[in-house]
């Protein structure tokens, strides 16, 4: 799977995660309006958003299926989402 396709899948996953978070957010706008830190990196206030843990996992799985992420890359994809700028998770009741 080419890096561009992986990046597209990650972006799609983040869009869905923020759309379903509390408060609801537009990932593209967050990226567009992000401040730049002293290292030239965009700073997205992802910790201001929260999503149910089960929904978080379902969105990752749905994205993997939708984008046909190969089995050998699925674990890496999930880790990338978890370690990236995803909303924080709240435990399901």
Instruction: Give the C-alpha distances (Å, rounded to integers) separating 54 from 11, 20, 37, 90, 92.
Output: 20, 12, 32, 9, 7
For residue range 26-50, list pLDDT tens digits in order: 999 999 999 999 999 999 999 999 9
Q: In this model, does residue 80 exceed pLDDT 80?
A: yes
Average pLDDT of the chain?
94
Per-residue pLDDT at 75 = 96
The predicted structure's pLDDT at residue 93: 63
Exposed/middle/buried for residue 78 (C-beta within 10 Å: 0-12, 13-18, 19+): middle
Three-state DSSP class for 90? strand
Q: Is 90 exceeded by the pLDDT of residue 2?
A: no
Instruction: Give the pLDDT of residue 3.
Output: 87
Q: What is the pLDDT of residue 24?
A: 97
Distance CA 18, CA 52 (A): 11
Other Cβ atoms closer than 10 A to 6: 16
Q: What is the DSSP letter of 87?
A: P
Average pLDDT on 52-63 reads 97
Q: What is the distance between the alpha carbons of residues 26 and 71, in angstroms, rounded to a whole number?
A: 29
pTM over 0.85: yes
């Amino acid at each position: 799977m080419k890096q561009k396709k992986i990046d597209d899948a990650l972006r799609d996953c983040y869009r869905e995660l923020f759309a379903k978070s509390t408060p609801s957010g537009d990932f593209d706008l967050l990226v567009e309006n992000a401040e730049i830190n002293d290292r030239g990196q965009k700073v997205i206030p992802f910790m201001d958003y929260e999503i149910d843990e089960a929904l978080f996992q379902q969105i990752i799985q749905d994205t993997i299926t939708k984008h046909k992420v190969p089995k050998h890359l699925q674990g890496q994809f999930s880790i990338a989402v978890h370690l990236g700028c995803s909303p924080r998770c709240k435990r399901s009741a």
